[in-house]
Amino acid sequence: MKLRIALAALLLVSACGGTAPASEVASAGGTKTPASPAAKGSGDDPMLAHAKCMRREGVADYPDPGSPDQGKYSTPPPDEAVRVRYEKAMKACMKEMEAGREAAPPPDAAELDRLTKYAECYRKRGIEVKGPDPSNGEIRFGAASEAEHDAAEKACSPFRAGK
Residue 32 has pLDDT above 60, yes or no: no
Lowest mean pLDDT, pick from 9-13, 25-29, 55-59, 140-144: 25-29
Tell me the mean pLDDT in the region 72-91. Answer: 80
The beta strand positions in 37-138, using DSSP E, are: 129-130
Q: Where are the domains of the chain?
A: 2-160
Contact 62, 77 (CB under 8 A): no
Residue of 91, 79, 119, 93 whose CA lies nearest to 19: 91
**Is it the case that residue 94 has pLDDT exceeding 70?**
yes
pLDDT of 106 reads 85
Residue 154: pLDDT over 70: yes
Higher pLDDT among residues 99 and 158, named by residue? 158
